[in-house]
Structure 1
Amino acid sequence: MTFRTVWLHLRVPFSFFLLPVFLFALSQSTELRQGTLDWGRVVAIWAVIHLLLYPASNAYNSYFDKDEGSIGILETPPPVDKTLYTVAWALDLLALVIGVWIGWPFVGYLLIYGLISKAYSHPIIRLKKYPIASWLVIGLFQGGFTYLMTLQAIDDLPIMELTNPRLLLGALLCTLNLLAIYPITQVYQHEEDGRRGDLTMSRLLGIRGTFLNTVIWFALSLGGFYWYFGGEPVFWLLPVCLLPGVVYFVFWTIRVFGDSRQADFRSAMTMTLLSGTGLNIFFVLLLILTDS
């Protein structure tokens, strides 16, 4: 495999869509509020998660899936070989080495996340074949679990403090977001997933059901954020930031309900980009307001 092919399968830019979880955790940091935040530590945590852990997971998934159709942010994924498998493990090991400097709870997080992501793809277990289980695993581990462990690593919190109800509510909101968004990222892959025998959540729900699923969980998430912020004015920045994505989603839904072929790769990626950008902007604004 060429360097370019490996780089494409790492799908590093795809981490942009998961960045809101990191930014939300950072915005809730006690160290940030007190003005004692170690920004070098923050950058290291971000780099390990978004430049090593997530790309390793993407590469491992690509190696075992050997996709021929559109997947993730790749419209035409190039062929894979054993090199990608080796790179995935190398990135995981490098993440663990750096993680030791950050703290042992963070190493535990990296180990658990890495093993779960491998169980998701590996043919012996392949959680990806089980629609509800894989949907919940993705929602929990890319959402709430990552939120809690990011916040723990940033503030160097005792593990028992992660049972704080407010922290758990923040984790739940991250999970709700993933439960809403994840099936939409699968909606154009039904043929490819069917060829491999994977019954994803989107295939189980059907195309229309996938869109309705997004509406339900997104509404719950939005209501949860209103509760989390106690109805304070800062909450209203969230729907404003998400407005472009919501408008696109409404018009896309109308098109898809009229013609299911409109549930295609480019529309799904546009939807994901708009929603991810909106969330990122909101949490950056929240960071600025918290730090001021």
Structure 2
Amino acid sequence: MFRSTVQLLRLPFSFFLLPVYLFALSQVKDPAPVRALLIFVIWHLLVYPASNGYNSYMDRDTGPIGGLKAPPMPTPWLFRVTLAMDVLAVILSFCVSPVFGCCCLAYIGASRAYSYRGLRLKRFPWLGYGTVVVFQGAVVFAATYHGCSRDLTLHIPVAPVVASSLLIGGFYPLTQVYQHEADARDGVRTVSAVLGYTGTFLFCGLVYLAGFAVLALYFARIHQVIRFLSIQAFFLPVLIYFVAWFSGVRKDHRKADHVHTMRMNWLAAAAANAAFGTLLIWSQFE
């Protein structure tokens, strides 16, 4: 029971969402170290794992899901643990600031609405997609930027907020590409299912490109073009794998499977974490 609960929290999955935190922190001029660490704990050790666990509790997946090839069946303990983690996350988030606390509450509420059987926003392809994109991207960036700044500023740059959502939006449908049949059996129609295999790859490529275009404009405006160009090297392996995988899927749809998806997940997350981590280190020498 303990082991299955820990497995379904999918703690390593937080690595995939770490880039937004690193990007936000790298853009804060004078971060507060203690609050920055607390915010990391809130998002990556409490909110995200609890969200994963609650989603698994509602879905009761029998096939592969993100990070787990053969997920165990959830138990009532999983629900209790996710609830306790949510409560702790909210308490700690209000210790950061009321604004951060409200953002955390909103994220948890949106996450539950996405998965809860009585509402289940994930049933609706574009509404579900929009929920993920806005909260995992824009809300997390804005809340992190606010909470990590020493003066708890509300003057948050718009371009990085938009870029964060676009980068999430350009990646998220790829995580659904192997689940079309399983989702359909569960009454869920994802954006990837609507777009089809080829459409998913083309859509993700365009949205990701839009995200990088916004980043380019942002870094040009703050006179940091060299930094923007420098981090592009980290994303070259991602581009190569994306094109190769897309080519393979066009020839054989069976390659849109869990194994290839997880490779893409890990590669893209590693590249983004390295890129935004580099920006964070770079910012410390200003």
Identity over aligned pairs, percent: 37
In 1, Cα distance between equivalents of 2:91 and 2:143 = 17
Maintained 8 Å contact 2:136/2:168: yes
In 1, Cα distance between equivalents of 2:128 and 2:101 = 23
Task: Give 1:156 deviation, angstroms.
Answer: 5.0
Q: Does 1:60 align with 2:54?
A: yes
Residue 84 of structure 2 corresponds to which residue in structure 1?
A: 90
Residue 149 of structure 1 corresponds to which residue in structure 2?
A: 143
**Which stretch shows the higher mean deviation, 184-193 or 233-242?**
233-242
Residue 169 of structure 2 corresponds to which residue in structure 1?
A: 179
5+ residue gaps, structure 2: none
Decide whether aligned partners of structure 1 residues 252 and 54 sit closer, same or farther in structure 2, where only a CA change above 3 A counts: same
Residue 234 of structure 2 corresponds to which residue in structure 1?
A: 241
In 1, Cα distance between equivalents of 2:162 and 2:95 = 28
Residue 281 of structure 1 corresponds to which residue in structure 2?
A: 274
Match of 1:195 among 185, 189, 196: 185
Task: Give 1:76 deviation, angstroms.
Answer: 0.7
Residue 222 of structure 1 corresponds to which residue in structure 2?
A: 212
Residue 34 of structure 1 corresponds to which residue in structure 2?
A: none
SS in 2 for 1:229: helix
Task: Give 1:223 deviation, angstroms.
Answer: 1.3
In 1, Cα distance between equivalents of 2:62 and 2:124 = 21
Runs of 4+ in 1 over 4 A off after TM superposition: 156-160
Cα shift readout 1:51-97 (whole Å, capped 9, x = no counterpart): 00011111111000000011111111101121111111100001112
Cα shift readout 1:245-268 (whole Å, capped 9, x = no counterpart): 111111111100000000000101
Residue 6 of structure 1 corresponds to which residue in structure 2?
A: 5
Decide whether aligned partners of structure 1 residues 113 and 157 sit closer, same or farther in structure 2, where only a CA change above 3 A counts: farther
SS in 1 for 2:64: coil
Cα shift readout 1:101-127 (whole Å, capped 9, x = no counterpart): 211111111111111000000111100
Maintained 8 Å contact 1:105/1:159: no
Task: Give 1:161 deviation, angstroms.
Answer: 2.1
Decide whether aligned partners of structure 1 residues 160 and 103 sit closer, same or farther in structure 2, where only a CA change above 3 A counts: closer
In 2, Cα distance between equivalents of 1:12 and 1:186 = 19
Task: Give 1:289 deviation, angstroms.
Answer: 1.2
Residue 132 of structure 1 corresponds to which residue in structure 2?
A: 126
In 2, Cα distance between equivalents of 1:273 and 1:9 = 18
Once the two structures are superposed, the pairs formed by residues 10-29 of structure 1 within 5 Å of their partners are 10-29=9-28
Cα shift readout 1:127-165 (whole Å, capped 9, x = no counterpart): 000000111110110001110000100115556423xxx
Task: Give 1:220 deviation, angstroms.
Answer: 0.8
Counting matched residue pairs gives 282
Match of 1:110 among 104, 115, 121: 104
In 2, Cα distance between equivalents of 1:20 and 1:99 = 20
Maintained 8 Å contact 2:32/2:150: no
Task: Give 1:237 deviation, angstroms.
Answer: 2.1
SS in 1 for 2:68: coil
Normalization by structure 2: what TM-score?
A: 0.96
Cα shift readout 1:169-192 (whole Å, capped 9, x = no counterpart): 100000001111000000001111
Normalization by structure 1: what TM-score?
A: 0.94
In 2, Cα distance between equivalents of 1:221 and 1:16 = 20
Task: Give 1:238 deviation, angstroms.
Answer: 2.7
